[in-house]
Every structure is written in C-alpha cells, then in structure tokens.
Amino acid sequence: MSKANDVRAQALSLVGQNYHLGEEPWYVIGPEQTRIKLDTDCSGLPYGVFRRAGVLVDGQMMDRLTANGLYYRAKVIVGPSRVGDLGFLLRNSRAYHVFMYVGNDQVVEAGDGTGHVGLRTVAHENARGAKWGRLNTDIGEFTGDEMTEAQDKLLKLVRLSMVARSFDIQMIEAIVKNDVLRIEVVRAAQQIAVEVERNRLGLTPAEALRA
C-alpha cells in the first residue's frame, strides 16, 4: 500500500470519532485535553494521520502545528488533486480551520458542525470559501480506491447518524425540563436536518433507516 493509500485509510478510519479542541489521535498534545484519548481536533487530524502513516514533511516527521501554522507552511494550490492536500478556512487572513482531501472528491474534517469527524465534498468546502494548500511530503500518488461500495455507504450512514446525534444535547435538556413543546421543536428540526443530509448523500429512505 502506498503512503497515499495509507493516509486515505487512516483519515477515513477517524470518521465518526468525537471532536474536541486540543486533541489529536494517537498523540495527545494541547491546552484543552480531555481524558478521552480518541478525540480529534482539526489540525490534530493531519498531524495524527501523517505520523501514523509515516509521512515525512520537508524530510522529517510532521511537527504539531495549528491550522494557521499549517496554512503558512503549505504551498498555495488552486484546488486539491492529491491525497493529503489541505483545505483552510480563513478569518482576517489567518487560518482558523483545516481539513484534509482524501481523493474521490472527499474531504475528512474534524469539527464539521456535528461535534465529530465527518465527510464533506470539495464543492461543499469551496462554497464555504476554502483555500487549498499542499505540504512538501513524500505521500506520493494515490494508486486506486480500495473502498468497496459497501464501505462507502457505511461512511455515509455514519455521517447521517452524526447529524441526528448532533441534536442529542438539546433533546436531553428538553426532556429533563419536561418541556413538551421544546421536545417537538427539536425533534422536527432533527428530522429536517437528517432529511436534507440524506438527500445530499444520495441515500434512499430505506438505506437511511440503518443509520
């Protein structure tokens, strides 16, 4: 397996994992650590994935950098075309968020709005104003998609499940307060969000029932 294939596999393995600022898989460093060692933050994702896959950046194992640190270290590119390319969201010329391209128009993103690591498309990130960059790595070329159709569908179901679970805290609070009206409002909002995401992912209603 090439390093590009390994990077893709490692990144996809994190989909569904919890997001928490200051965490990264396998290497826990950060000012806001939790006791759960399998949380991930946005810049921790490329750090952990690259280190796990043995990727060299400028000839060395990757340093632990913030999203902005990665942004200024990366070479600007028009759009992603290689596994391991990074996308950034900027505010006042500084990168506050980073995500990784893993091929086949897929982006793995820690902190995607659901509180987890999720899958997005390049088009979705471009619509958010993404800027793209490439580190000087030895990742090489992606040699082929080793994911089966079943695995791809499973990742989509995980994503759909994360959207549904993102309403859990609101629902629990409403139940604790015995606020019947609030429960119905949250449930309706959850159903709409799940349906929108189901359509975006191209899943049928029957397939979505598995999420």
Domain spans of the chain, in order of start: 3-134, 149-208
Contacts 24+ apart (CB under 8 A), 179-184: none
Q: pLDDT exceeding 90 applies to what percent of the chain?
A: 31
Over residues 107-121, mean pLDDT = 82
Over residues 182-196, mean pLDDT = 88
Query: Is the pLDDT confidence value at 188 over 50?
Result: yes
**pTM reported for the whole predicted model:** 0.67
Buried b (16+ CB within 10 A) or exposed e, 63-74: eebbbbebbebb
Reported as a pLDDT band with limits 50, 70 and 90, residue 119 is confident
Q: What is the mean pLDDT of the chain?
A: 81
> What is the end-to-end Cα distance of the chain in Å, rounded?
30
Q: What is the pLDDT of residue 30?
A: 43
- Which range has the worst mean pLDDT, 123-127, 156-160, 184-188? 156-160
The closest alpha carbon to 98, from 21, 10, 183, 158, belongs to: 21
Q: Which residue has the tokens 């990264």?
A: 24
Q: What is the pLDDT of residue 141?
A: 74
How far lies 77's CA from each of 63, 81, 86, in Å?
21, 9, 10
Over residues 6-28, mean pLDDT = 70
Q: What is the pLDDT of residue 27?
A: 46
User: Are 149 and 140 spatial neighbours (Cβ–Cβ below 8 Å)?
Assistant: no
Query: Is the pLDDT confidence value at 13 over 90?
Result: no
* Candidates 3.60.21.10, 3.90.1720.10, 1.10.357.10, 3.40.1180.10; CATH matching 3-134: 3.90.1720.10
Reported as a pLDDT band with limits 50, 70 and 90, residue 102 is very high
Query: Is the pLDDT confidence value at 48 over 90?
Result: no
Name the most confidently modeled range: 25-29, 76-80, 115-119, 146-150.
Answer: 76-80
Q: What is the pLDDT of residue 170?
A: 84
Reported as a pLDDT band with limits 50, 70 and 90, residue 3 is confident
More confident residue, 84 or 51: 84
